[in-house]
Amino acid sequence: MKIDRIRLIVQFFLFIFFVYGGLLSLSIGNAIPTMTCIYVDSRGGFCFLYPFQRYLSVPLNVLFKGTIIGFGIYLGTFAIWAFVFNKSWCGWACPLGFLQDLLTKLREALNIDVSRFEWITRYRFSSVKYILLVLLILIPIGISNSFFGSPRLPGDLAVPFCQICPGKPLLPLFNGDFSNVKIDFSNSVTIVMTVLSMGIAGLFLAGSFFKRRFMCAYCPMAAMLSIFDKFGLISLKKQGSKCTRCGNCLRACPMDIVEIAQEKEKVNMVTQDCILCMRCIEVCPENDALRATFCGKTIFRSTAQGFLKRQQAIAKKMNKEKTEL
């Protein structure tokens, strides 16, 4: 079975768990390194970023005295999850990632060509995820703390990223909850944030239909997980001497990562945008040029035999479709 099909099955079951797990009182906590939304009432756990912003919105003297132990345990839990599974949270578990992959499947079913950014364009916007990460740290801190006599920020900005995340209006829809699909006119802050939320949700849907994993390149969770790129237990390794630069891996990569095709010196290929989907390994025609490892042990590797089998299966399918036409 193709790795992409296996991944889609895993994504489906994890999506069901993260959206409906609470109905069976199932949960894996509140420090999950992926976009599991707190606004879904029946959730099976929720995203690390919501409590993280809540912790930072209390006065710093309270944070570092009264709640420091709880905050430390919370950060440690996130670190363990991230260390063990690395960026596979993005490629295999993220509910928003799953929705983007479904939109890709829909586009392919309609025979609409994929859109690609030039790598230089992607590079220019690569800092967006880090800017968002800095803002979701600084804005909550500014709510209960004043620096150099500056006014404190309004409490409605306590969880700024969650307020504009596309998961807030979209994921509750799977529970029949439309309460977040609206403009909140309570005050100027809520108006701005909900307008941004609706706009970003629309951009998410439109962009992800035409461009694979469109929003992942700008996700602040990916920025946090990048801390674990080099030493997470799950990794992507490349043996540059066996690479012929055929470009199969780049064409298959949903994140359009040029390094996976061009790099011949580096061994660890988990870059800031890699989601560990392992599609590059699947389409590589060279034995052991690419491999996924867990704790240093190979769990999936590229093989010429596997590549040829998949090509034969694709050709057989295409011939069958031509015959039916």
pLDDT of residue 200: 96
Percent share of the chain, pLDDT over 90: 80
SS3 call for 8: helix
Give the residue from 100, 81, 80, 78 showing the smallest Cα distance to 7. Answer: 100
pLDDT of residue 125: 83
Separation CA 259–CA 269 (nearest Å): 8
64-68, 158-162, 191-195: the lowest-pLDDT one: 64-68
Question: Do the beta carbons of residue 303 and residue 283 sit within 8 Å?
Answer: no
Is a pLDDT exceeding 80 seen at residue 321? no
**228 — pLDDT class (breaks 50, 70, 90):** very high
Domain boundaries of the chain, sorted by first residue? 3-225, 237-324
Q: What is the mean pLDDT of residues 250-276?
A: 93
| 91 alpha carbon, distance to own chain's centre | 6
pLDDT of residue 10: 97
pLDDT of residue 61: 87
pLDDT of residue 315: 66
**116 — pLDDT class (breaks 50, 70, 90):** confident
Per-residue model confidence as pLDDT tens digits over 125-142: 888 999 999 999 999 999
Question: Do the beta carbons of residue 281 and residue 292 sit within 8 Å?
Answer: yes
Per-residue model confidence as pLDDT tens digits over 154-164: 999 999 999 99
SS3 call for 300: strand
Is a pLDDT exceeding 60 seen at residue 299? yes
pLDDT of residue 306: 78
**Residue that is written with structure tokens 């061994």 in the block:** 267
Percent share of the chain, pLDDT over 70: 95
11-15, 81-85, 266-270, 321-325: the lowest-pLDDT one: 321-325
pTM of the predicted model, to two decimals?
Answer: 0.92
Give the residue from 267, 212, 199 showing the smallest Cα distance to 90. Answer: 212
pLDDT of residue 312: 72
pLDDT of residue 65: 84
Per-residue model confidence as pLDDT tens digits over 172-186: 999 999 999 999 999
Positive or negative, the Cα torsion across 122, 252, 270, 28?
Answer: positive
Q: What is the mean pLDDT of residues 29-35?
A: 95
SS3 call for 49: helix
Is a pLDDT exceeding 80 seen at residue 152? yes
How does the average pLDDT of the chain come out, rounded?
92
Question: Do the beta carbons of residue 41 and residue 27 sit within 8 Å?
Answer: no
Expressed in angstroms, the distance from the first to the final Cα of the chain is: 26
Residue scoring higher pLDDT (313 or 266): 266
**1 — pLDDT class (breaks 50, 70, 90):** low
pLDDT of residue 318: 58
> Which residues, other chains included, contact 41 with Cβ-Cβ below 8 Å and sequence gap of 6+?
22, 172, 175, 177
